[in-house]
């Protein structure tokens, strides 16, 4: 067994998002005991590539690796990844998300390399359209046998994985984590501002937040400022919706490098989604000590399971608006919820906990 295992991270996209933040955090946390390289889908330079290169990690682009299960794209991506594996001879492949998971497991099988596969959210949940759900289930079922170890970011995802032909001894829950960067919010201060950090595309529901903000304005008699941090294909439609609803204090901030200090300038965090794994953005809010309003989903409940830690609400504008109104009107409640969220972060979501668990999985995969 090598004393410094060579691990090749494989991820479909390098844009800003939860899986990308996870890869960045993991590579930084394990820089000493592990020699990392990375394969990122797409032909263009990305934020993740820049960050990894700055940390001294070799990065390889694979244009054929894209968010598509079309057989031709998968074949070309497997051929390209197999060539990289043969050239650089990693000890372990670590794949993230569905398409990279398919490509890495096939290429790993061809090259006789163990594959660790982190599931950031299965695509065969009931909320996913039936065709995509069926294809995803078939892929995961067929490739489970070629998975040395499957890492799920939440117990809910692990429950879904139990139906796959993979022994329980080769499945683990390792919750997502974030580096503690020292940025702290002061949620009790006025005027309060609301933030949502999310890609502006399905399954996120920033549209629901906009409708809730309009209801909140009507209930309070004034508008509460809000920031949507993140880019995506739905941005123009959401800007049009904000204009239609008469919301003048909603800022669309796009993709940014400084999420943590921006969050620290807000007093409430919101994340609304149709489905989730274990969202990194909520962990960012917990780290900052922000009170959280989020969709009532299994992954959210694992992050903040107690009523005193967060408001988990149905995906209905009225319910979201009522939760926001309580927090806006009560600075002490914002402060106590923020403190509870921060304590939960310190208990379960530090990088040391995650890195230790993943390193143990790497070493076990080489036995």
The pLDDT of residue 41: 97
State pLDDT tens for residues 258-308.
999 999 999 999 999 999 888 999 999 999 999 999 999 999 999 999 988
User: In this structure, what token pair is assigned to residue 115?
Assistant: 């594959």
Confidence (pLDDT) at 321: 99
According to CATH, the superfamily of the domain at 6-177+350-365 is Glycogen Phosphorylase B; (3.40.50.2000)
The three-point CA angle 41-33-280 to 5° equals 50
DSSP symbols for 192-242: --EEEE--SSTTB-HHHHHHHHHHHHHHHSSPPPEEEEB--TTHHHHHHHH
For the residues 136-147, what does the mean pLDDT come to? 96
- Percent of the residues in the chain that have a pLDDT greater than 70, as a whole number: 100
| Domain 194-348 CATH class label | alpha beta
- Spell out the domain ranges in the chain: 6-177+350-365, 194-348
Q: How far apart are CA 175 and CA 354, in angstroms?
A: 7
What's the pTM?
0.88
pLDDT tens, position by position, 198-257: 999 999 999 999 999 999 999 999 999 999 999 999 999 999 999 999 999 999 999 998
Q: Which pLDDT score, from 0 to 100, does residue 127 have? A: 78
pLDDT value at residue 3: 75
Residue with tokens 């903040």: 304
Report the candidate in 142, 78, 63 with the shortest Cα–Cα distance to residue 113.
78
Q: How far is CA 161 from CA 72, 148, 169, in A?
A: 27, 14, 12
- Tell me the pLDDT band of 354, cut-offs 50, 70 and 90: very high
Angle, vertex CA 87, rays to CA 100 and CA 53, nearest 5: 65
364 vs 367: CA distance, rounded Å: 5
Q: What is the DSSP letter of 145?
A: G
Q: Which residues pair with 94 in a beta bridge?
A: 9, 116
Domain 6-177+350-365 matches domain 194-348 at the CATH topology level: yes
């Amino acid at each position: 067994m090598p004393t410094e295992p060579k691990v090749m991270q494989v991820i479909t996209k390098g844009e800003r998002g939860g899986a990308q933040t996870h890869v960045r955090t993991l590579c930084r946390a394990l820089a000493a005991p592990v020699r990392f390289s990375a394969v990122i889908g797409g032909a263009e330079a990305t934020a993740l590539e820049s960050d990894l290169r700055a940390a001294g990690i070799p990065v390889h682009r694979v244009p054929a690796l894209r968010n598509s299960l079309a057989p031709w794209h998968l074949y070309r991506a497997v051929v390209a990844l197999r060539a990289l594996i043969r050239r650089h001879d990693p000890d372990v492949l670590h794949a993230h998300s569905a398409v990279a998971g398919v490509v890495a497991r096939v290429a790993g099988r061809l090259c006789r390399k163990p594959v660790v596969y982190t599931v950031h959210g299965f695509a065969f949940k009931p909320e996913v359209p039936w065709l995509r759900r069926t294809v995803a289930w078939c892929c995961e079922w067929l490739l489970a046998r070629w998975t040395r170890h499957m890492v799920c970011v939440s117990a809910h995802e692990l429950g879904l994985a139990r139906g796959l032909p993979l022994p329980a001894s080769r499945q683990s829950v390792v919750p997502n984590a974030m580096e503690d960067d020292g940025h702290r919010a002061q949620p009790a201060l006025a005027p309060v501002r609301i933030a949502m950090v999310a890609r502006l595309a399905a399954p996120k529901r920033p549209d629901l937040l906009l409708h809730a903000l309009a209801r909140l304005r009507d209930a309070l008699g004034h508008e509460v400022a809000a920031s949507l941090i993140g880019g995506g294909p739905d941005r123009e439609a959401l800007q049009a919706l904000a204009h239609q609803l008469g919301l003048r204090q909603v800022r669309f901030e796009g993709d940014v490098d400084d999420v943590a200090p921006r969050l620290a300038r807000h007093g409430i965090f919101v994340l609304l989604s149709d489905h989730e794994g274990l969202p990194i953005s909520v962990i960012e809010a917990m780290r900052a000590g922000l009170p959280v309003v989020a969709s009532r989903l299994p992954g959210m409940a694992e992050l903040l399971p107690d009523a005193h830690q967060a408001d988990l609400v149905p995906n209905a504008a009225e319910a979201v608006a009522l939760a926001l109104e309580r927090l806006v009107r009560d600075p002490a409640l914002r402060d106590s919820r923020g403190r509870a969220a921060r304590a939960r972060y310190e208990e379960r979501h530090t990088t040391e906990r995650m890195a230790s668990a993943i390193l143990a999985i790497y070493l076990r995969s080489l036995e």
